[in-house]
Amino acid sequence: MNKVIYSLKTVYRDQDRKSMPRIILEALHCLFLEWEMPYYYFLALLYKKGAPDYRNFIGHRKNFGIQRNYLRAEGPNFDLFDKTRFGEILSDHNIPSARVLGHNSGHEIIRNGSSGTIANPTELALQLWLLLSETRSNSIFVKPIEGEEGVNSFRFDEAEITAENCGDLFRLMETVSFIFQETIKQHPTVNSIYPQSINSLRIHTFFDQKKNDYEIVSVMMRIGRDGAVVDNCGIGGMYIAVDLENWTLGKFAQTYLSRGGHRFTAHPDTGHVFAGTKLPFREESFALVKAAAPLFTSEFIGWDVALTESGPVILEGNENPHLGMAQWGVGGFKNHPRYKEIFKNYI
């Protein structure tokens, strides 16, 4: 109930919203269009002025149906879900990806075929120093092997590896398995948007059985903000559409309603204007995910790709990517020829 009240207050106080009579009318229309409470109308920020046409969007019921009956019809794809296994598969096939330095099992850290047990945050800091010596970026990124939305993720630059800073990670290691990776140095163009996090692309691929070919369906970019070291929208990051042909950012980036429902034309921290920003490595990014897609059984995958100084690298693959974000990026699945075809049995 508190979340509902917060959301209603956010909508009412939004200076960029449509008039309340129009919002009520459109929300009621959504109820009859999708035969469900029109939560999706508000979560996708369709109540804002200049938002995509709400009539082209599917609701939560159909969204969950796609997840349950299509994306995860046979359960989770653990080759994608388990980040350690995922990294091994890419490495075995020479697919550029984030470099894995090690992982933990409880307070045991496994690296380069050997392992060592740590007893306190000071010993964890020493292990991180050993891992740091193997990097070129002088930085380590730590995230849960089976985590989502950037929760419990850490970045340790050289000056930050101290016993005090390792305390939270040490406590979490008792119950959470982490993967330790070399922090990626992103391309200057992407870094200029927001330098504290890796601002990753979400590239959606689909295996067309009729054509026996993998295609790029849509692309988004997620961008960190407010000092965060991750770009995940669940903890306050933003998402923005990427034009497939021109390889440029769209006009608006926005946050989840639960994070304020903000919409920006420029980054609130750096002032970088989004519209028309030309991204590097279009063809290389497409070739990369098309090379990786056949290694996994999922027909539809959302790839997280970082653009580095020397080219794209894969961070993660998601067999159940955030469909709400994808739908907003294309202006609604009902209005998109490929999504309308791919999900035709469910929308």
| Domain spans, the chain | 2-61, 77-96+186-319, 100-182
| Cα–Cα distance, 202 to 221 (Å, whole number) | 6
pTM: 0.92
| Cα–Cα distance, 261 to 20 (Å, whole number) | 16
CB 285 within 8 A of CB 203: yes
Per-residue pLDDT tens over the stretch 184-202: 999 999 999 999 999 999 9
The answer to whether the Cα torsion of 30, 36, 38, 43 is positive or negative is negative
pLDDT(231) > 90: no
String of DSSP letters for 112-136? TTEEEE--SHHHHHHHHHHHHTT-S
**Predicted local distance difference test score (pLDDT) of residue 147:** 67
**Predicted local distance difference test score (pLDDT) of residue 24:** 97
**Predicted local distance difference test score (pLDDT) of residue 166:** 94
Per-residue pLDDT tens over the stretch 48-65: 999 999 999 999 999 999
77-96+186-319: CATH superfamily: ATP-grasp fold, B domain (3.30.470.20)
Structure token pair of residue 315: 């961070």
Per-residue pLDDT tens over the stretch 317-334: 999 999 999 999 999 999
| Cα–Cα distance, 146 to 124 (Å, whole number) | 21
Q: What are the residue ranges of helices labelled H in 67-152? A: 78-81, 83-92, 121-132
String of DSSP letters for 278-318? BPS-HHHHHHHHHHHGGGSS-SEEEEEEEEBSS-EEEEEEE
| Cα–Cα distance, 319 to 302 (Å, whole number) | 6
| Cα–Cα distance, 339 to 342 (Å, whole number) | 5
At 145, the pLDDT band (50, 70, 90 cuts) reads confident
Per-residue pLDDT tens over the stretch 149-180: 667 889 999 888 999 999 999 999 999 999 99
CB 264 within 8 A of CB 62: no
**Predicted local distance difference test score (pLDDT) of residue 149:** 65
How many percent of the chain have pLDDT more than 70?
99
**Predicted local distance difference test score (pLDDT) of residue 83:** 85
Q: Angle at the Cα of 173 (from 168 to 176), degrees rounded to 5? A: 115
| Cα–Cα distance, 298 to 294 (Å, whole number) | 9
Residue given tokens 């740091």 in the structure block: 132
Per-residue pLDDT tens over the stretch 276-312: 999 999 999 999 999 999 999 999 999 999 999 999 9
How many percent of the chain have pLDDT more than 90?
83
CATH architecture assigned to 100-182: 2-Layer Sandwich (3.30)
pLDDT(1) > 90: no
| Summary mean pLDDT of the chain | 94
Domains 77-96+186-319 and 100-182 share a fold: no
**Predicted local distance difference test score (pLDDT) of residue 233:** 85
Of the chain, the end-to-end C-alpha distance in Å amounts to 29
Question: Alpha-carbon dihedral of residues 320, 322, 327, 329, nearest 10 degrees?
Answer: -120
